[in-house]
A and B are shown apart, each in its own frame.
Chain A
């Protein structure tokens, strides 16, 4: 089922490239460069969705202590971090071509940057050699705390930015653009669900293999003591 979602999502994304190149109108002021938006927007939205999944899975893990919720949180954090970094890269490239600046402290970009750093810290804990249960607890707490920070980061960036002049003014989307953007978001969502499920399953299997290996080693040691 997970592989089906991943493959279907990949195919849908490929179809969306056709929509972006041949159906979506070319934006008047920014020209063809604007089409990077159809990649940037789904990446940003599904990165935020990933961080929300980390929050939910972490809360459920703290309540139930079932390893599969920890695996889901870890898979969502990895995927969310990847998507957020790609969203930032596409945002930087778009900003440079469209407005001549590499970066603007737009609240959404600033929030994405801060969340990237926060979840990079989360992955740093995953990379430490802590006992498994302690690591899972620590990451669950951090996953909850990091997501609680999201609205605060957004509001603070908005207040800060109101002091500085805006580099660009946002506008609305026309109907064709909105339709193509919606299709890209949905396709990315299907692909995201597939990747998340596959990665969570991988982590579960890795955990089971490690458990089997540890039990085998313990049994071998016990046998070597008794003989």
Chain B
């Protein structure tokens, strides 16, 4: 199962990264969001840590919506969804592969969003880098798990995917913003956000493994 998941992830990453179009749109949209947050303040004013973290995570969220819309649109566009289902491997392997590809693509986008947040919103990263990298990975994993499950429902319709995803991701986004604010120097934010993000990941990884088989093949 893992071999098939990695093959699917490699295939999707090759298609998205080599063409570049899917990720480019997502990165541009995220950057525009960060710029607007930066421009919205008074001239010379400093954006507070929590607002900067919110801008970073909103950019990541929009990036994730476009990424998963693109990932599930790959097979739809070529009429190949049924072929993927008929390949004989567990459907959960497809979920794992797509989620892994989505995780990597969102992380690629965040490699642009993070420096943009530091530069344009005037932030500094405080504290041990390994802790913030771990927090980032934890939140991104939750985004990938739920984004992949509901991305299969959206079938390439980004508008519907956004409407479904945004409310459900509130707890994870709040955790991401809390942890991000702490990374940007707001010391009072450490209130169990890591535990909440871990709980979210556990619940939605289990839900994804259990429920993906119902939404991906479907009865058309």
Q: Interface residues, chain A, CB within 8 Å of chain B?
A: 62, 114-115, 117-118, 120-121, 124-125, 128, 131, 133-134, 137-138, 140-142, 144-146, 148-149, 152-153, 155-157, 159-160, 162-163
Contact = CB atoms under 8 A, between A and B. Distances in A.
B163 A156 contact: no
B153 A131 contact: no
B42 interface: no
Interface in B172-220: 172, 174-175, 178, 188-189, 191-193, 196, 199-200, 203-204, 207, 211, 214-215, 218-220
Nearest to B191: A159
A152 B219 contact: no
B105 to A, nearest CB: 22
Given A125-B160, A142-B153, A156 B174 contact: yes
B41 to A, nearest CB: 21
A128 B150 CA distance: 16
A162 B191 contact: yes
Contact of B218 (A120, A124, A134, A159): A134
Given A118-B164, A134-B218, 5 more contacts: A115-B167, A117-B166, A145-B150, A149-B171, A159-B174
Chain A interface mostly helix, strand, loop or mixed?
helix
A156 B211 contact: no
23 contacts: A62-B211, A114-B167, A114-B168, A115-B167, A118-B168, A124-B160, A125-B153, A125-B164, A131-B219, A134-B220, A137-B215, A141-B211, A145-B150, A149-B171, A152-B171, A152-B200, A152-B203, A155-B171, A156-B170, A156-B196, A159-B191, A159-B196, A162-B191
B149 interface: yes
Contacts of B174: 156-157, 159-160
Contacts of B207: 144-145, 148
A162 B191 CA distance: 9
B196 A155 contact: yes
A141 B203 contact: no
Nearest to A159: B191
Interface residues on B, range: 20 to 34
Contacts of A137: 214-215, 218-219
Given A121-B164, A141-B153, A148-B203, A114 B215 contact: no
Contact of A163 (B149, B188, B199, B214): B188
A222 B146 CA distance: 46
Nearest to A115: B167
Contact of B220 (A125, A131, A148, A152): A131
A162 B175 CA distance: 13
A129 to B, nearest CB: 12
B211 A152 contact: no
Nearest to A65: B219
B170 A153 contact: yes
B205 to A, nearest CB: 12
A160 B178 contact: yes
A207 to B, nearest CB: 15
A159 B199 CA distance: 14
Contacts of A153: 170-171
B196 A141 contact: no
Contact of B168 (A134, A140, A146, A163): A146
A128 B157 CA distance: 12
Of the listed residues B166, B170, B191, B207, the one surrounded by the most CB atoms of chain A closer than 10 A to its CB is B170
A138 B171 contact: no
Contact of A138 (B153, B166, B167, B203): B153
Contacts of B171: 149, 152-153, 155-156
Nearest to B177: A160
A39 to B, nearest CB: 25
Given A62-B214, A160-B178, A141 B167 contact: no
A139 B125 CA distance: 42
B25 to A, nearest CB: 23
Of the listed residues A118, A141, A146, A155, the one surrounded by the most CB atoms of chain B closer than 10 A to its CB is A141
B163 A120 contact: yes
